[in-house]
Structure 1
Amino acid sequence: MPSSDSLILDAVRIALDGRSLLALDLAVAPGEIVTVMGPSGVGKSTLLDYVAGFLPTAFSASGAVRLGELELTALPAEARHVGLLFQDPLLFPHLSVAGNLAFGMRAGGNRRERRRRIDAALDEVGLGGYAERDPATLSGGQKARVALLRVLLSRPRAMLLDEPFSKLDATRRDELRRLVFAQVRERRLPTLMVTHDAADAQAAGGRVIELDLPSDAG
């Protein structure tokens, strides 16, 4: 029986131009990391788009996405409270580090409290004192940590990871994996990760779902 905080994909089917890409039934428990792997074109990132509410109109989809009893499928992306971490940090170049983090936070609370949360989050990931830094001055690993904090400060109820470690060197990749996985487990966020890297799946330590190209592909 899935937990009341599980991420549930109920009979999800995604197709492109009438051709089925994937069919999936899945329940991801709080704090669990489920890895989705498979060749390019199989629909891994498209699956995350559907869960997050960003599915391009070229695709057709059916099936329900729920967080516990809350039906997400008909909700706009901003109402789903699902965090999405990409392979590129996608930081706003015209905002400071603190500005980027504040952008992800839900409305409400006074400015001092919001800044306190931002400073505490930066301290937690070893970026204390970086609040006023220009994102252009950060290393790749530092940008990735800021991107993670921006998602976490939005207080998501589930996490989607779309190859978030793929552009880092081996050392930074290992550091960020440990940080991301520790954070989602600590916050008990059901997490769905898409990757081509078996080392990501091994580090996550959870279930691995292998998607295959349809037999009529190509």
Structure 2
Amino acid sequence: MLTLDGLHLKQGDFSLTADFTLHPGRKITVIGASGGGKSTLLAAIAGFLAPTSGQIFWKDENLTEKPPSKRPISMIFQDNNLFPHLNATQNIGLGISPSLRLSAADHQRIEAALARVGLAEMATRKPAELSGGQIARVALARLLVQGNPVVLLDEPFAALGPAMRAEMLDLVAELVEETGATLLMVTHAPEDAKRISDQVILVADHHAHAPVDTKHLFENPPDAMRDWLG
């Protein structure tokens, strides 16, 4: 379980609170108005933003003081975090070794991950030679080789067209179900939440609310969500 215990975050004049537990294996989307604190929440969970108070736990392990590299968490940002001078295999390999000192077994893991996301023939291509959807698939393959139990996605498919975005969402859902990972995904599109999420976290009025069943939330939206939906 991922627990945010009395978490208080602050960036300049902006503040955000959160206090809830996420159960393993759930697919959870984070929604709310632009600038409301969705990315701030993910940054704190990943370890890029220290809370002013409160704690973050994975099961019984206190993650609050741990750097990002020591947390059981993988994250994809909106730009997919690929290095333009490295090919697909190398970009995925960074998920195993930042120095790219990879064993034969590591290369087998990378090949398997490329095949799983449908890019077996793209191993030597650099990001400039890949489409937007293929770049997103490379980033997902890197998540696979990392094998962490918590996956954070900060709108990595926002630049894709509707059909490709739906395809990538379905692939994400398949991958986290296969691995048993807990997914926390920021989105601005209600249809994304409805498509793959079990639960939704609404971020509004400087507070990240506890997760609610997706169907129930959209059928019975609070005022803050009605304002966001329009």
TM-score interval, smaller chain: 0.7 to 0.9
Specify the code of the residue in structure 2 equivalent to 1:191: L
Specify the code of the residue in structure 1 equivalent to 2:24: P
The answer to whether residue 1 in structure 2 is matched with residue 9 in structure 1 is no
Deviations 1:92-140 (A, max 9, x none): 1111111111111158996211111111111111111211112211010
RMSD, aligned CA: 2.1
Question: Which residues in structure 2 correspond to 1:72-91 (within 5 Å)?
Answer: 72-91=63-82
Which residue number corresponds to residue 3 of structure 1?
A: none
Which residue number corresponds to residue 22 of structure 2?
A: 28
The answer to whether residue 125 in structure 2 is matched with residue 140 in structure 1 is no
Q: State the TM-score, normalizing by the size of structure 2.
A: 0.83
Which residue number corresponds to residue 190 of structure 1?
A: 182
Which residue number corresponds to residue 39 of structure 1?
A: 33
Question: 1:171 is paired with a residue of what secondary structure?
Answer: helix
**Distance in 2 between residues matched to 1:13 and 1:106, nearest whole Å:** 33
Which residue number corresponds to residue 150 of structure 1?
A: 142
Q: Could you say if the C-alpha distance between residues 157 and 106 of structure 1 is closer, same or farther in structure 2, counting changes exceeding 3 Å?
A: farther
Specify the code of the residue in structure 1 equivalent to 2:141: L
Whether the 8 Å contact between 2:117 and 2:140 is mirrored in structure 1 is no
Question: 1:129 is paired with a residue of what secondary structure?
Answer: helix
| 1:28, distance to aligned residue in structure 2 (A) | 1.4
Question: Which residues in structure 2 correspond to 1:1-218 (within 5 Å)?
Answer: 6-17=1-12, 21-55=15-49, 61-106=52-97, 111-214=103-206
How many residue pairs were aligned? 206
> Unpaired runs of 5+ in structure 2?
208-230
**Distance in 2 between residues matched to 1:214 and 1:92, nearest whole Å:** 34
**Distance in 2 between residues matched to 1:134 and 1:78, nearest whole Å:** 25
More helix per residue: 2
> Unpaired runs of 5+ in structure 1?
1-5
Higher deviation after alignment, 178-187 or 69-78: 178-187
**Distance in 2 between residues matched to 1:109 and 1:90, nearest whole Å:** 20
Q: Could you say if the C-alpha distance between residues 55 and 80 of structure 1 is closer, same or farther in structure 2, counting changes exceeding 3 Å?
A: same
Q: Could you say if the C-alpha distance between residues 159 and 143 of structure 1 is closer, same or farther in structure 2, counting changes exceeding 3 Å?
A: same
Specify the code of the residue in structure 2 equivalent to 1:37: I
Whether the 8 Å contact between 1:37 and 1:196 is mirrored in structure 2 is yes
Deviations 1:125-160 (A, max 9, x none): 111121111221101000000011112211212111
Q: State the TM-score, normalizing by the size of structure 1.
A: 0.87
**Distance in 2 between residues matched to 1:168 and 1:110, nearest whole Å:** 32
Identity of aligned residues (%): 41
